[in-house]
Amino acid sequence: MKRRTEHILIILLVFCFILVILPVSADTGSSANTLTRGGRFSITITGTPNTAYYFWLARTYSMSGKPGDQPPVVQGNQYNVEQDPSDGPYTIGSYAYYNGNGRTILDDVAASTPEMPNTSYYGRVTTGADGRAIVLFRTSSATATRSFSVKAENPASASSGNVLVEETVYSRTTPATPQSTPLTPETPLTTQQTPVYTPATAFPTTTVPPVTPSLPPTRSDPMAGIVLIAIGTALWAAARKN
């Protein structure tokens, strides 16, 4: 009976030790078809070399811009990217886009809030000598759980259709640094390409995959294992005395 009790206590001690050494695990929240909150994506605009193009989060005008109902925002301080000051003048935002019946970019993006000005949802970027420009966007806990579309155009492209928009989603651990030449990220999760615009088709728009909440990290509790080890050791010592 005493030997059987000792065997049970040894098994209990081993189990407690396993609980303690289990590695901490965390879900990055990234998948091949979704962009998680806190993740980033970029658009690559291909058009005429050394030419400015307007870009914006299209058809987000119904969003309040408040936390939880906010589009992705343009990452600040990017090469060749211009944005309006938050308090104006709204030179870029006043651009009346193609087939908008007089509506401007400001009319098509989410509202301003004290937390985030609506100038964060659009901008103007100039292509390099290769005719390409890359713009990086970021998401946060305030970003709405839905899909978004990014539009890009200028007055010349609206009539000639010489612009292409591509979108790339990055994992949360992949660096993304926009520059004047195409990016080659370490692990792009998805890349989508839209057809070149012609007057008979819709204007180039790239659709960003749905933004989904990232899951909190799951961790083993080392204190629970330590307590069990202490209890098991005490029981084993008591059994040895008997």
In order along its 242 residues, the chain shows pLDDT tens digits of: 555 555 555 555 444 443 333 332 222 233 334 678 889 999 999 999 999 999 999 999 999 999 999 999 999 999 899 999 999 999 999 999 998 999 999 999 999 999 999 999 999 999 999 999 999 999 999 999 989 999 999 988 876 667 899 888 886 655 554 433 333 333 333 333 333 332 333 345 566 666 666 555 555 555 555 555 666 666 656 666 65
Whether 35 and 190 have beta carbons less than 8 Å apart is answered as no
Give the angle subtended at the CA of 48 by the CAs of 77 and 35, to the nearest 5°.
50
Q: What is the number of other CB atoms lying within 10 angstroms of the CB of residue 105?
A: 27
Alpha helices in 22-59, H assignment, sequence order: none
The residue whose two tokens read 């938050």 is 86
Q: Give CA–CA dist 167/57, Å, rounded.
A: 13
Structure tokens at 216: 């909190």
Backbone angles phi, psi at 36, to 5 degrees: -85, 155
Calpha distance 160→157 (Å, rounded): 5
pTM of the model: 0.63
The tokens of 104 are what? 């401007």
Using left for φ > 0, alpha for ψ between -120 and 50, and beta otherwise, residue 224 falls in alpha
Instruction: Give the Cα separation of 94 and 107 in Å (integer).
Output: 9
Structure tokens at 62: 């119904």
